[in-house]
Amino acid sequence: MRYLTIALSKGRLAEMAMELFEGADIDCSGLKEKTRKLIITDEKNKIKFFLAKPADVPTYVEYGAADIGIVGKDTIQEEGRDLYEVLNLGFAACRMCVAGPMELEGKMDQMTITRVATKYPRIARDYFQHKRRESIEIIKLNGSIELAPLVGLSEVIVDLVETGKTLKENNLVVLDTIADISARMIVNRVSMKMESERINKIIEVVRKNLENN
Ligand code: PRP
């Protein structure tokens, strides 16, 4: 039997995913150890795990370097890779939003927006082109997106909002919600056919485990 490979997104998502797998009797405890080892193995279940940058997880899965991946819906949408999204894991829930200064609240439709700052250029472009049919300049930033409207880099931002605390503390508000985001399980298209029995079993065990939590 060949090993199935699972790619986890480094960070908070990985910790929650590990708990989920452990609750499903799949051993990925080795990932918690502070070693430089990149891949750990559950010999009993013939599963290998590795941690990757969230944005790279869909890439590993599309190419079949990982059969399964755990990653946020935001990253799936932004990367636009060819793969199956098989399960909503529910955790790491937040919203992808357009946000900006309070003065714009309820006025987005009357406003001409010229520049949008975001870590998610594809999602922002799709939203403004398809939903609002506007041509705007997307400015890619790598973090602290809320700064952009405060210092005049852009009128609005497209970013994740979890508790809303960052927006509030910077006098910004949600102007529109683009999508509900949470962690998802993704599967390589070929693996889903070739290893359907084992993969479906993992999906089922994880799903049951989620229901019981
Ligand atoms: C994320 C996101 C927002 C913030 C939202 O940033 O980009 O800035 O969290 O959370 P809140 O609604 O609970 O305040 P993150 O902390 O990941 O850092 P970043 O700004 O460097 O991307």
What does residue 99 show for φ and ψ, rounded to 5 degrees?
-135, 160
Atom number, ligand 1, closest to the C-alpha of residue 165: 14
H runs (alpha helix) in the chain: 12-23, 57-62, 73-79, 121-126, 147-150, 165-169, 189-194, 196-211
What pLDDT, in 10s, does the model give residues 114-125? 899 999 999 999
pTM score? 0.94
- DSSP structure class, residue 26: -
What pLDDT, in 10s, does the model give residues 72-122? 999 999 999 999 999 999 999 999 999 999 999 988 878 788 899 999 999
What are the boundaries of each domain within the chain? 4-92+182-212, 94-180
Is ligand 1 within 6 A of the CB of residue 106? no
CA-proximal residue: ligand 1, atom 1 (nearest): 160
CA-proximal residue: ligand 1, atom 19 (nearest): 143
Q: Which fold has domain 94-180?
A: D-Maltodextrin-Binding Protein; domain 2 (3.40.190)
Superfamily of domain 4-92+182-212: Periplasmic binding protein-like II (3.40.190.10)
CA-proximal residue: ligand 1, atom 21 (nearest): 143
Looking up tokens 């599967």, which residue turns up? Answer: 187
Give yes or no on whether 4-92+182-212 and 94-180 have one common fold: yes
